[in-house]
Amino acid sequence: MPDEKKLNFIEQIISEDLKSGKHQQIYTRFPPEPNGYLHIGHAKSICLNFGLGQTFGGKVNLRFDDTNPVKEDIEYVDSIQEDIKWLGFQWENQVRYSSDYFDQLYSWAEQFIEKGLAYVDDQTAEQISATRGTPTQAGKESPYRNRTPEENLKLFREMKAGKFADGEKVLRAKTGMDSPNMHMRDAVMYRIKHADHHRTGSKWCIYPMYDYTHGQSDYLEGITHSICTLEFENHRPLYDWFLDQIYDPKKIRPRQIEFARLNLNYTVMSKRKLLQLVEEKTVSSWDVPRMPTISGLRRRGYTPLSIRNFAERVGVAKRNNIIDIALLEFSIREDLNKSAQRVMTVLDPLKITITNYPEGKSEELDAINNPEDESAGQRKVPFSRHLFIEREDFKEDGNRKYFRLKPGKEVRLRYAYFIKCEEIIKDQNGEVIELLCTYDPLSKGGKSPDGRKVKGTLHWVSAPHAIDTEVRLYDRLFTDENPDGHKDKDFKAFINPNSLQILPNCKSEPFLKTAQPEDKFQFERKGYFCVDKDSTLSKIVFNRTVSLKDNWKRK
């Protein structure tokens, strides 16, 4: 058992249930709807549910809530399974689906009707909504509420047989119309949808609602603790009411427990709105690195450990709050700082010629792979007469506080030598195109031969050995902390126009020639980067995962 003092409120409930003997083993589930890719908010739920199983030696099901065939797709089913595995978790036995239980759910619905607990309503969705009332005013009973069980059973079977059009009839539970909880006002159990299902094909044209399906599926699977986000708190009485009608005391009865969902600033956490971004071509796909989807974060270079650590730091709360995205960025920096291979890449190349270094000569210098990990060892970096440095690392009129390269001043090249800028070459437009420098051959390894101080240290790449790379600099997708929180503005009004900058002509050291998609590196002085799947044999593409430091607040 885990340390009782460190348990969150859900873990405390589970611990008490196990100690009291109420349950011998816990059984939870993760129940996504396959209508989109999972995002970072779902990652927290995945980590919580599967983490509970690991902490208490329990089991966890993956069950797709596939009750709406109009919005569901096998692509989403596959991506969700891939995301869960990538995060490092495995569900119990085979994948489950709510559609596995359609026959049983239908059979129970007939029993509800026979007991006088459900009826077929001919009202439209608009009419039902208009008669629900308000939280302070009771709703109005349907004129069809008092049909006999025999008539309701006949109509329900005709619904199943496809005799009615979409929206023509629904099956509603007799939960009452005067509850202060709006979800408890004769809740809809089934609606008509003439649409093929990705698993059951054309067998069904009526589909159960989530509130009816959720608890019954938990019950059928023997789930002990049904962990939901806080927006389902008001659904819990209905969850329990449906269970009350079928519960056998000899079997396990699931308990629904709610926790606060993850809300992240500078992000939208709605699959519907993320789908809108994809469908309207604001972004090209669900897995673009600007998206907060798990697949987007993976492609950007986030690691499973960083996301799991982030979820643990956020914790499990009873109240909704907004988490600073800087915490997510801190988690990936922390992980990659320990694990990422260091390399040198020049994003905006400026050519340097070292005039006193022999033409045609080159040598290999020792470079540290990761100062945080001695076991990572060293690599060889080629050095020659012709180099590239960052254009921003030279300033023609740099003042005394400018410690990078400027005329007549020395800088240290990382792992190499001291160099001094002697001459500037410009094109006809006055743009600097090349620097002529000299080097001190006695300063190899960047060590001062006579104790003189050189403050600036630059990264560089040997021009003859450099490989061409494309670098994509990603930033936050939205400029507003709460893009979804403005009643008078659409969330897309806050799309960050600078969320992607493509640098097509970068130069990298040859070590990166064999890099593969999802390989991760720290570009010295520039940030953490990941090889993108768009890479080709002729050009490697890198995505910036995160900068070395949080520089958003300085913008």
As a whole number of angstroms, the distance between CA 515 and CA 507 comes to: 14
Per-residue model confidence as pLDDT tens digits over 405-464: 999 999 999 999 999 999 999 999 999 999 999 999 999 998 888 888 898 999 999 999
Q: Which residue among 140, 261, 492, 539 is the active-site one? A: 261
pLDDT exceeds cutoff 50 at 554: no
φ, ψ for residue 185, nearest 5 deg: -95, 95
The answer to whether residues 59 and 53 touch, using CB atoms and an 8 Å cutoff, is yes
544 tagged catalytic: no
pLDDT tens, position by position, 117-148:
999 999 999 999 999 999 999 999 999 999 99
Percent of the chain with pLDDT over 70: 98
Among residues 33, 92, 151, 312, which one is catalytic?
Answer: 33
β-bridge mates for residue 470, sequence order: 541
Q: What is the 3-state secondary structure (H, E, C) of 13-37?
A: HHHHHHHHCCCCCCEEEECCCCCCC
- Which amino acid, one-letter code, is at 362? S
Rounded CA separation 520/126 (Å): 53
For the entire predicted model, the pTM comes to 0.93
Provide the residue type at 234 as one letter: N
487 flagged as catalytic:
no
Residue 33 annotated among the catalytic residues of the structure: yes
Whether the predicted pLDDT of 238 surpasses 90:
yes
Domains of the chain (ranges; CATH) run 4-259 (3.40.50.620), 271-341+469-554 (2.40.240.10), 345-459 (2.40.240.10)
Q: Which of 126, 54, 62, 52 is nearest to 95 (CA)?
A: 62
Residue 553 — pLDDT band, cuts 50, 70, 90?
very low
Active-site entry in 29, 96, 271, 299: 271
Q: Please provide the average confidence, as pLDDT, over all residues in the chain.
A: 95
User: 532, 392, 383: which is closest to 469 by C-alpha?
Assistant: 532
Checking if the pLDDT of 550 tops 90, the result is no
